Amino acid sequence: DGLVHVSRIRDGFVENIHDELEDGQEVQVRIVGVDVEGGKMSLSMKGDGGFGGAPREPADLSAFEDVASDQWLTGTVARITDFGAFVAVSAPDSDSTADGLVHITQIRDGYVESVADELEVGAEVEVRVLSVDSGKMSLSMKEEVGEEDEEEDE
């Protein structure tokens, strides 16, 4: 026997487990983790993608590849995780939109203990594109290194 955490039943928010499953229902699972000492096994009903279901085609981020790292874009926090926040942004001069990750270290200067203490889903934020690689986009909410120094030198 093992445990399928509510977040690993399917993609999206599960409000009521009983709407998804019935006692005794046979389901396909994969093993996510095993605690031999504790005699526990973590299971997932999601696909083989590990984080969030079946593998997806990489997002088309070509519209973001040439955005300068000093250009600020307005985005909306789409999801919050322990390691950062996914922000939906629109490419300048384009209809292309995509989600990018603002890693916890890129939210603000200094130590951030909890992403949820800093941001909330639906919040509008200003971000910069740090990199676009392999269907992933890295964003930052911090000033570019040197931007503040240049203003102080004047």
Q: Are strands 40-44 and 136-140 parallel, antiparallel or unpaired?
A: unpaired
Q: What angle do CA 104, 106, 110 make, to 5 degrees?
A: 85
Put simply, whether the predicted model's pTM sits higher than 0.75 gets the answer: no
| Sign of the CA dihedral running 57, 54, 136, 88 | positive
Query: Is the pLDDT reported for residue 49 higher than 70?
Result: no
For residue 21, how many C-alpha atoms fall within 13 Å in the half-sphere facing its CB?
A: 16
Grade residue 54 by pLDDT with cuts at 50, 70 and 90: very low
Of residues 106 and 29, more confidence is placed in 106
Q: Mean per-residue pLDDT for 116-136?
A: 93
Distance of CA 20 to the CA centre of its chain: 24
Cβ proximity of 141 and 86 under 8 Å: no
Whether residue 55 is predicted with pLDDT greater than 70 in this model: the reply is: no
